[in-house]
Amino acid sequence: MSTLSKRINSLSESATLKMTKLGRELSAKGVNVISLSVGEPDFNTPDHVKNAAKKALDENYTRYSPVPGYPELRQAIANKLKTENNLDYDASQIVVSTGAKQSLSNVILTLIDPDDEVIIPTPYWVSYSEMVTLAEGKSVFINTDLESNFKITATQLEAAITPKTKLFMFSSPCNPTGSVYNREELASLAKVFEKHPNIFILSDEIYEHINFVDKHESIAQFESIKDRVIIVNGFSKAFAMTGWRLGYIAANKEIAAANDKLQGQTTSGTCSIAQRAGIVAYEQGLESVLEMKKAFLRRRELVYNLLNEIPGVKTNLPDGAFYFFPEISSFFGKKDADGNVIKDSSDLSLYLLNVGHVATVGGDSFGNNNYIRLSYAASDESLVEALKRIKEALAKLN
Ligand code: PLP
């Protein structure tokens, strides 16, 4: 009998965390590695949020919190959904968790039985399909590419639906592509879901505030399907609060109560101090987010221009988030100085780490092997240097 369960053996290690770990190991050996592998803003949490946490400590918010979150935080989230997104949710429909990652996992464990199908457009965030595997569901992928700006159409969605489809999950703005669905595109997907009343929609909106084109649009705005939409969002990206572990869902009452029950038997409520700080983050508005967005916008232009100067690399201009997902398949089949063949995007990403000393992530982990993901949440100088190194390393392949 094997020591570890079939469930854990079926899981892959997170590719983004793995590349970050490899980059750190190389740095520890004294190599100057530039990390473009990690999905986190390179900014500090705003002072007013940090001060709220200090105050929470002084006021002894140090005990177990209610499992779905403090009522004031759930209310602040409901208020945010109304004022920023024009969506009506009661505080009882909000469940706060240890990051959007736990919220996603909670929802999947709440809805998915063995063999239920979950439709996921590729490329997708690395953990989606692994979470489905953990719930013993089956991921059904809809492939997209650079030409379609990494977005699916209603026709593709319709074709992927079977009687076993239980859930559709996607992120907009998207990690890893930065693609953003506009209102019309979401409306056309919503029309398909109207015809299939048993399908739920998991809408990951964690990059909501890093959107360079339009105002953020949520698929929950379509009343005909709203009851079946579960919004996932959180504080990690908008408020540079990745380490605080604070995310949430907004869902119908049955799903919210089920998430509460699941969390009550697994993690309990998330960190009391982070929650108090979250209330202040939402109540005091988006000024710090707008500053951060300005920097991302500038870096997006910078990286776009530099990527376009690299022979063999193709890219689009992402509409949101802080990633590029360039096409790099022209390097497959080429050899490094030791004669090793680059077979896939993971090989290329490892090659860029070992030879160029830049950490990226192979697109195969996001479900599209012809690409790699670069995060541009790094200083302008690091980005310029990283792109120079990538260009030089790629030029050495033949
Ligand atoms: N969803 C997407 C698309 C992400 O990129 C991430 C983090 O990288 C998460 C969810 C998880 O965010 P959190 O830090 O709130 O767990």
Mutation choice for ligand 1 from 236, 373, 376, CB with most ligand atoms inside 8 A: 236
Could you tell me if 122 and 143 are in contact, meaning their C-beta atoms sit under 8 angstroms apart? yes
Closest C-alpha among 305, 376, 371 to residue 143 = 371
Closest C-alpha among 133, 171, 136, 166 to residue 151 = 171
Q: How far is the CA of 242 from the centre of ligand 1 (A)?
A: 9
Which residue's alpha carbon is nearest to atom 8 within ligand 1? 39
Could you tell me if 65 and 238 are in contact, meaning their C-beta atoms sit under 8 angstroms apart? no
**pLDDT confidence of 134, banded at 50, 70, 90?**
very high
CA 14 to chain centroid, in Å, comes to 13
Is 322 a residue whose pLDDT tops 80?
Answer: yes
State pLDDT tens for residues 236-274: 999 999 999 999 999 999 999 999 999 999 999 999 999
What percent of the chain shows pLDDT beyond 70? 100
Mutation choice for ligand 1 from 37, 177, 206, CB with most ligand atoms inside 8 A: 206
Could you tell me if 326 and 371 are in contact, meaning their C-beta atoms sit under 8 angstroms apart? yes
DSSP code for 341: B
State pLDDT tens for residues 153-201: 999 999 999 999 999 999 999 999 999 999 999 999 999 999 999 999 9
Question: Alpha-carbon dihedral of residues 212, 217, 218, 224, nearest 10 degrees?
Answer: -160
Q: How far apart are CA 347 and CA 204, in angstroms?
A: 29
Q: How far is the CA of 101 from the centre of ligand 1 (A)?
A: 5
Instruction: Give the pLDDT score at 2.
Output: 85
> Which domains can be identified in the chain, with CATH numbers?
6-44+288-395 (3.90.1150.10), 47-285 (3.40.640.10)
Q: How far apart are CA 78 and CA 96, in angstroms?
A: 11
Is 231 a residue whose pLDDT tops 80?
Answer: yes
Q: What is the pTM of this model?
A: 0.96
104: left (phi over 0), alpha (psi -120 to 50) or beta: alpha
Q: What is the CB < 6 Å shell around ligand 1?
A: 39, 99-101, 125, 171, 175, 204, 206, 234, 236, 242, 247
State pLDDT tens for residues 139-148: 999 999 999 9
